[in-house]
């Protein structure tokens, strides 16, 4: 296995255990509702990877070429990803077009992405390829365009012409950004290997582990923890599609029971989703005791969500010691910190008023006024450093709240084809934009950069949603505001739109109301939970004429609580 | 329980818990999922509600966007197995 001790023996991701020892052990078990599980052995996996590599080479893909995989989450996209790696090309997983999305909007952003990043090819579904091909500067291949049937493929020799060097870019992770400007986080082979070596230590990873995941592969948690890591370490991955899991959450629990899974990464909302939306009948008799850690990651951790999960699944042998936490980001490949596996993550009781007033996380008794629990993200993993700085850039002592900076041996090389974006300061620190503090060496995250909404693990910028809202007929630009509303029940932030409208006719208002929800889903693939149509003059503007999101949110919360909205 | 009662219970549930807007004029054949009013998370929630409220278990393969898109479809599915 890849550990800090064995790290010198590994050069690139092609040293992955699954590829080096292609025997009959399971590499991936793919699950779908209402279908029989598909088990892919290591040797089958290896065969498929080489088949894909040969097919990619045939369509002209070579070393260092960027290949965008905008496919549905299935085995083909997985083999395609590793096939590209095998050639020394640079694959990048990207969300596919779903029926919910506005095709025009999606294709425009794909066209922009392929143009800016000079992608060599896009791999997608047969259905979607012809339309997308009209928009993109590079070739777009549906399955049948690039991957011949098994019996039709001629030569798969002549492969492995060139091994990538450790410092070369292995793949890109696309992070979300404002107004559709997606940044490609470029990660080198050595950065990914460094991360997984350090992380294996923090997780006490062993060959007995089994990872289960429903996470999307275009998200760092799904890509690194729930995909690259198991293939690289040679431990089985039980995988399902996020679309399937969201609708049928019990699928995950059945998978844990069936395959004795030991590690599972989840964003905070998933604890609520599982606790609230798995029917009793569906969880009865399932044993979840094999799990060493459910790792809460990628949105602020709420103690209430852990509590809800514990209570709901106590009968399935879930205990507090299984509830771990990690703080992670694509720019550090993945994990920055990890709480101790096998122990409940620490909770720090702090005075919320002192936090807001003095930017100090003052420790208080649980029953003190304004006491609020902060769940620890644990200590930094090996070879990763964290510091907290104040507004003037000064390093802050423990329990002072400031911006979180990270420095490590597993950071991004840069943003792909974006020399204008410099991720590091002069000393090599990466400014995360997150706010937090350190106590007893453990990291606590208390907030994100202003206005950012994290809903169901997804980063959403309100200005992006507002831009969509302004396009809706009946809404005037500048006369709507979008903000996040923390929701205990869902364990995440929900999105609210408040828009001023002039029309008074009920039927006309309903059209606007529906259009708002629909167009946001279609353009941004996030659901709007609250829509309030208000009369002109409702929104509070700043002196410079801008809409102040925080003030308007306060007003909205008050009026909603009073039943006026 | 009559069909009318099932319909009203489901309507209240959708307005209160899913759309979160009691004033919304929801029609019986309006596409709730396709219209972007609710998302995929809500499909699982409908399953929980149907079990708790009507003691009707809708298996996962039936909890899909196509099969739960309108109030009419939900009512029919619940009525089918209502005892």
Give the domain ranges of chain A: 7-191+218-229, 453-561
pLDDT for residue A319: 98
Question: By C-alpha distance, which of A265, A275, A273 is closest to A325?
Answer: A265
Helix runs in A413-474, H state only = 462-470
Within 8 A of A255 by CB-CB distance, chain B residues are: none
Average pLDDT of chain A?
92
Q: How much helix, strand and coil, in percent to the nearest 5, is found in chain A?
A: 35, 25, 40
Q: pLDDT by residue (tens digit) across A74-100?
A: 999 999 999 999 999 999 999 888 777
Q: Which residues of A touch B (CB under 8 A)?
A: 33-34, 100, 243, 246-251, 273, 276-281, 456, 506, 510, 513-514, 517-522, 527-531
pLDDT for residue A179: 42
CA distance A297 to A306: 12
Interface touch A514/B35, C-beta < 8 Å: yes
At A138, the pLDDT band (50, 70, 90 cuts) reads very high
Interface touch B60/A521, C-beta < 8 Å: no
Q: How far is B21 from chain A (nearest CA, A)?
A: 8
Superfamily of domain A7-191+218-229: ANL, N-terminal domain (3.40.50.12780)
CATH number at residue B11: 1.10.1200.10
Q: For residues A556 and A540, is the Cβ–Cβ distance under 8 A? A: no
Q: pLDDT by residue (tens digit) across A184-240?
A: 999 999 999 999 999 999 999 999 999 999 999 999 999 999 999 999 999 999 999
In order of A91, A137, A289, A339, B40, the CA distances from A201 in angstroms are 27, 43, 22, 12, 37
Which of A33, A99, A242, A247 to substitute to test the interface with B, most B CBs within 10 Å? A247
Residue of chain A nearest B65, judged by CA positions: A247
Q: What is the mean pLDDT of residues A36-46?
A: 97
Q: Which domain holds residue B32?
A: 3-81
Which of A248, A518, A561 to substitute to test the interface with B, most B CBs within 10 Å? A248
Torsion over CA: B59, B65, B71, B76 (sign): negative
A545 by DSSP, 3-state: which? Answer: coil
Q: pLDDT by residue (tens digit) across B14-37?
A: 999 999 888 899 999 999 988 888
pLDDT for residue A450: 65
CA distance A547 to A480: 8
User: Is pLDDT at A159 greater than 70 in this prediction?
Assistant: no
What is this model's ipTM?
0.86
Q: Per the structure, how many domains does chain B have?
A: 1
CA distance A344 to A211: 19
Within 8 A of A527 by CB-CB distance, chain B residues are: 36, 38-39, 41
Helix axes A303-313, A268-277, angle to 10 degrees: 30
pLDDT for residue A344: 93
Tell me how far the alpha carbon of residue A440 is from its chain's centroid: 28
pLDDT for residue A564: 84
High-pLDDT (> 90) share of chain A, %: 76
Tokens describing residue A337: 């910190």
Question: By C-alpha distance, which of A395, A396, A399, A295 is closest to A337?
Answer: A295
| Residue A420 CB contacts under 8 Å (≥ 6 apart), including other chains | none
pLDDT for residue A99: 74
A465 by DSSP, 3-state: which? Answer: helix
CATH of domain A453-561: 3.30.300.30
DSSP string, A62-122: -TT-EEEE---SSHHHHHHHHHHHHTT-EEEE-PPP-TTS-HHHHHHHHHHHHHHHT-SEE
Secondary structure E strands in A159-299:
169-175, 183-188, 211-213, 237-240, 263-266, 293-296
Q: How far is B11 from chain A (nearest CA, A)?
A: 17
Q: pLDDT by residue (tens digit) across A461-509?
A: 888 899 899 989 999 888 999 999 999 889 999 999 999 999 989 899 9
pLDDT for residue A56: 95
Q: What is the mean pLDDT of residues A318-323?
A: 98
Place of tokens 């995250």: A445
Q: What is the mean pLDDT of residues A358-384?
A: 95
Question: By C-alpha distance, which of A212, A375, A378, A213 is closest to A307?
Answer: A375
User: Is pLDDT at A178 greater than 50 in this prediction?
Assistant: no
High-pLDDT (> 70) share of chain A, %: 96
Cα dihedral: A544, A545, A551, A556 (round 10): 180
Tokens describing residue A75: 């085995």
Question: Which of B25, B38, B64 comes nearest A510 by C-beta?
Answer: B25
A370: enclosing H helix or E strand = none
pLDDT for residue A525: 82
């Amino acid at each position: 296995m890849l550990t800090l001790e064995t790290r010198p023996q590994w050069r690139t991701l092609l040293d992955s255990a699954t590829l080096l020892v292609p025997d009959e052990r399971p590499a991936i078990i793919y699950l779908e509702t209402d279908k029989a599980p598909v088990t892919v052995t290591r040797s089958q996996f290896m065969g498929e990877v080489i088949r894909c590599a040969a097919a990619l080479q045939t369509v002209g893909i070579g070393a260092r070429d960027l290949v965008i995989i905008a496919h549905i989450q299935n085995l083909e996209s997985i083999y395609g990803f590793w096939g590209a790696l095998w050639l020394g090309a640079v694959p990048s997983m990207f969300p596919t077009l779903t029926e919910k999305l506005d095709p025009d909007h999606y294709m425009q952003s794909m066209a922009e992405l392929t143009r800016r990043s000079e992608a060599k090819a896009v791999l997608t579904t047969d259905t979607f390829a012809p339309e997308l091909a009209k928009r993109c500067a590079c070739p777009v291949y549906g399955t049948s365009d690039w991957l011949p049937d098994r019996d039709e493929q001629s030569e798969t020799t002549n492969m492995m012409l060139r091994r990538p060097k450790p410092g070369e870019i292995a793949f890109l992770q696309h992070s979300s950004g404002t107004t559709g400007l997606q940044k490609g986080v470029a990660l080198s082979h050595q950065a990914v290997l460094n991360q997984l070596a350090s992380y294996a230590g923090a997780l006490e990873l062993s060959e007995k582990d089994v990872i289960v995941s429903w996470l999307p592969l275009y998200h760092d948690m799904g890509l690194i923890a729930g995909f690259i890591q198991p293939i690289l370490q040679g431990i089985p991955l039980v995988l399902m599609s996020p679309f399937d899991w969201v609708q049928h959450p019990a699928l995950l629990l059945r998978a844990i029971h069936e395959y004795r899974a030991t590690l599972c990464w989840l964003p905070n909302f998933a604890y609520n989703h599982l606790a609230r939306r798995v029917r009793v009948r569906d969880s009865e008799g399932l044993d979840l005791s094999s799990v060493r850690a459910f790792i809460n990651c990628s949105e602020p951790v709420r103690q209430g969500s852990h509590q809800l999960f514990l209570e709901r699944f106590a009968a399935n042998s879930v205990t507090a010691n299984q509830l771990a936490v990690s703080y992670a980001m694509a720019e550090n490949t993945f994990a920055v910190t990890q709480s101790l596996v096998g122990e409940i993550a620490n909770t720090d009781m702090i005075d919320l008023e002192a936090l807001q007033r003095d930017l100090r996380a003052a420790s208080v008794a649980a029953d003190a006024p304004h006491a609020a629990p902060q769940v620890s993200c644990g200590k930094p993993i090996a070879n990763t450093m964290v510091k907290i700085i104040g507004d003037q850039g000064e390093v802050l002592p423990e329990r002072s709240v400031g911006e979180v900076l990270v420095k490590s041996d597993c950071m991004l090389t840069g943003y792909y084809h974006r020399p204008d974006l410099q991720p590091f300061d002069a000393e090599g620190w990466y400014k995360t934009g997150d706010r937090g503090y350190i106590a007893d060496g453990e990291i606590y995250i208390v907030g994100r950069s202003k206005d950012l909404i994290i809903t169901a693990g997804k980063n959403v910028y309100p200005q992006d949603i507002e831009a969509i809202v302004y396009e809706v007929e009946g809404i005037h630009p500048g006369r709507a505001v979008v903000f996040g509303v923390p929701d205990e029940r869902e364990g995440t932030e929900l999105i609210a739109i408040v828009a001023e409208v002039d029309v008074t006719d009920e039927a006309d208002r309903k059209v606007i109301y529906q259009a708002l929800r629909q167009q946001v889903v279609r353009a941004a693939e996030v659901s709007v939970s609250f829509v309030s149509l208000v009369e002109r003059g409702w929104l509070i503007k700043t002196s410079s004429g801008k809409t102040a999101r925080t003030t308007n949110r306060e007003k909205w919360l008050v009026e909603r609580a009073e039943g006026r909205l | 329980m009559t069909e009318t009662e099932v319909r009203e219970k489901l309507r209240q549930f959708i307005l209160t818990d899913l759309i979160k807007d009691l004033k919304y004029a929801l029609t019986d054949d309006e596409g709730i999922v396709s219209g972007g009013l609710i998302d995929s998370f809500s499909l699982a929630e409908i399953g929980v509600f149907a079990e708790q409220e009507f003691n009707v278990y809708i298996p996962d393969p039936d909890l899909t966007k196509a099969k739960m898109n309108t109030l009419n479809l939900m009512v029919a599915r619940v009525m089918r197995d209502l005892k």
